[in-house]
Structure 1
Amino acid sequence: MPEKTRLLIRADDAGSSLASNLGCLRACSAGPARSVEVMMPCAWVPHAAALFNARTAIDIGIHLTLTSEWNAVKWRPLTYAASLVDEAGYFLPLLMPREGDPRPSLVDRRWSIDDIVREFRAQIELGVKLFSNASHISSHMVRHFSDFDPRLGEAIAELCEEFGLIDDPFGHGVPRFSPYPAHPREATYRSNAFVQQLCELSPGTHIFIDHPAVAGSDASALGHIGYEDVEADRVSCLEMLTNPDLANAIKQHGIELISYREL
């Protein structure tokens, strides 16, 4: 029997803003997304729980978070984690340095693995408490935290086993589907590119990750050096995901939409 082509469309960064909560919801209710990742240290997590617990078909991931990347919107650890924060008590902007980005990164600090593991445990505990449909973990700003330090991969695997969660297969080799470049931030261009690339998607399981958001709310406050047009980018993502041409192409090519539950 021929292998199916399966696509997991994941909407990231719920909990971080009202715009992200509403965008992730719409990406699932009016688009092909099946899994939503929630950043547990952020202010809009209770609102996300109210939205998504009422819609049990939407799969929830606990989006493990160690960075606070925006200039004007910040979040702190859930635990006392002095080695993970800046002088104001917020997570640092970056995990690892980026060329041309002068902001501080965690890897350059004397961070404690015990602080990280305690923080991950607290995020997972809160996630499974607040979200009845939490099924898995994922990693914010990195493919998997095992890439930051292999010891974290072992700790995360143990936490997933303890809490009955899936340890993100994307971090363990499931290929990422990237149908369009970062620019231009134009929804029609992205939709056309997505549809075209679906024709070439090989049998097997693939994952598409992006950050849908609605316009006209707190998304306008998001941004940092080198990424100042966050709202335009994320609104374009949502418009692309809810374009009827995309839904028609997925159906035409017989692509099976899945969530982490089907993995």
Structure 2
Amino acid sequence: MTKYYELEQLGHHKDDILLMIHADDAGLSCSQNAATIEALKMGIVNSYSIMVPCPWFWDMANFAKNHPQYDCGIHLTLSCEWKSYKFGPVLPASEVPSLVDQYGYFHGSRETIKKLADPSEVKKELKAQIELALKAGIQPTHLDSHMYTLGLTNELLKVYKELGEEYKLPIFLNKELLQSVGNFTPIPQLGTMVHQVHIGNFNAMKNEGLSAKYKEIIQDLVPGLHILLIHPAFNNMEMKQVCLDHPNFGAEWRQMDFDFFTDPNTATLLKERNIKPISWREIQLSSL
């Protein structure tokens, strides 16, 4: 039976509210890297993960190598959802043909990945991403999945679990995230899951703004292990071009993420609620 992380197992009281504020998509662009680094140094964001196949990977890898004190995961990547900004696998496209389009880039949608991706090629490519990260000097604390594509099917989840076991790293699992990508099938003996995952939403961004949504999330947290997923970047020309015709998780959204989670008032709010920070490194050590 799938288990959840128990607070006592993590060295905390059962009534504690544990929160990881985790920045996805480092390596995606120069803007993403700069905002992620600044957010980490501000101290509220305490975890991030890197997309190895992206053009700006090496910039972020150099930061990770020289700043091992920050919690850093590998954002296992099988998709490229952007209209004009493209990237593909670490391996030659000829070695993983089910993972690429006619031009050799990753597919743009979960539906296409679910339909076409060969699990053996998925594992081959993701092992190559992990090995490249290790070669670059990154000391990963966990594995997670871009667009949660590794939750699309139980066959892909099996690959995810096997990679975690092989590299002795915790993998990011959550029941609601699995259901959000359409996987409602029973998944026995998969691993240990995070209690709750929180993400902003597009309607909130366009109406009252993400600041109000994040304040509501923080105010409503209950005892347990929570992860709040953000995507900090600057709303500059580079990021606008990356996110062309893609307002959901677009440049405006990413600037809002950066602004709220570098605001000293957010740190005050967390302190007022006695919310305790936790990182994947702590989870990793508790499972040894």
1:102 maps to which residue? none
Q: Please state how far the C-alpha of 1:260 moved relative to its aligned partner.
A: 0.8
Q: Please state how far the C-alpha of 1:114 moved relative to its aligned partner.
A: 1.5
2:152 maps to which residue? 148
1:85 maps to which residue? 100
**Structure 2 CA distance for aligned equivalents of residues 107 and 25 of structure 1:** 33
Distance change (3 Å), C-alpha of 1:153 and 1:197: closer
1:35 maps to which residue? 47
Give the stretch that moved more between structures: 228-237 or 118-127. 228-237
The question of whether the paired residues in 2 share the 8 Å contact of 1:17 and 1:43 is answered with yes
SS in 1 for 2:141: strand
**Structure 2 CA distance for aligned equivalents of residues 87 and 4 of structure 1:** 50
What is the correspondence of 1:7-26 to structure 2 with a 5 Å cutoff? Answer: 7-26=19-38
Q: Aligned-residue CA RMSD in angstroms? A: 2.3
The question of whether the paired residues in 2 share the 8 Å contact of 1:15 and 1:44 is answered with yes
**Structure 2 CA distance for aligned equivalents of residues 228 and 137 of structure 1:** 24
The question of whether the paired residues in 2 share the 8 Å contact of 1:191 and 1:245 is answered with no
Q: Which amino acid aligns with 1:258?
A: I
Give the stretch that moved more between structures: 222-231 or 67-76. 222-231
1:123 maps to which residue? 129
**Structure 2 CA distance for aligned equivalents of residues 2 and 150 of structure 1:** 31
Q: Please state how far the C-alpha of 1:122 moved relative to its aligned partner.
A: 0.5
> Which stretches in structure 1 are left out of the alignment for 5+ residues?
97-104
Q: Please state how far the C-alpha of 1:217 moved relative to its aligned partner.
A: 4.9
Q: Please state how far the C-alpha of 1:173 moved relative to its aligned partner.
A: 3.4
1:100 maps to which residue? none
Give the stretch that moved more between structures: 11-20 or 190-199. 190-199
Output the TM-score relative to the length of structure 1. Answer: 0.87
2:219 maps to which residue? 199
SS in 2 for 1:32: coil
Pick aligned residue for 2:61 from 31, 36, 49: 49
SS in 2 for 1:167: coil
The question of whether the paired residues in 2 share the 8 Å contact of 1:136 and 1:165 is answered with yes
* Richer in helix (by share): 2
Q: Please state how far the C-alpha of 1:155 moved relative to its aligned partner.
A: 2.3
Distance change (3 Å), C-alpha of 1:228 and 1:9: closer
The question of whether the paired residues in 1 share the 8 Å contact of 2:195 and 2:226 is answered with yes
Q: Which amino acid aligns with 2:233?
A: A
SS in 1 for 2:198: coil
Output the TM-score relative to the length of structure 2. Answer: 0.80
Identical aligned residues as a percent: 29
**Structure 2 CA distance for aligned equivalents of residues 186 and 126 of structure 1:** 38
Q: Please state how far the C-alpha of 1:194 moved relative to its aligned partner.
A: 2.4
The question of whether the paired residues in 2 share the 8 Å contact of 1:69 and 1:224 is answered with no
SS in 1 for 2:55: coil
Q: Please state how far the C-alpha of 1:30 moved relative to its aligned partner.
A: 1.4
2:164 maps to which residue? 160
The reply to whether residue 238 of structure 1 matches residue 258 of structure 2 is yes
1:106 maps to which residue? 113
The question of whether the paired residues in 2 share the 8 Å contact of 1:11 and 1:210 is answered with yes
**Structure 2 CA distance for aligned equivalents of residues 158 and 180 of structure 1:** 30
Q: Please state how far the C-alpha of 1:133 moved relative to its aligned partner.
A: 2.9
The reply to whether residue 3 of structure 1 matches residue 15 of structure 2 is yes
Moved over 4 A (4+): 186-189
Give the stretch that moved more between structures: 191-200 or 75-84. 191-200
The question of whether the paired residues in 2 share the 8 Å contact of 1:186 and 1:236 is answered with no
Q: Which amino acid aligns with 2:159?
A: A
> Which stretches in structure 2 are left out of the alignment for 5+ residues?
1-12, 176-191, 284-288
**Structure 2 CA distance for aligned equivalents of residues 88 and 60 of structure 1:** 31
2:273 maps to which residue? 253
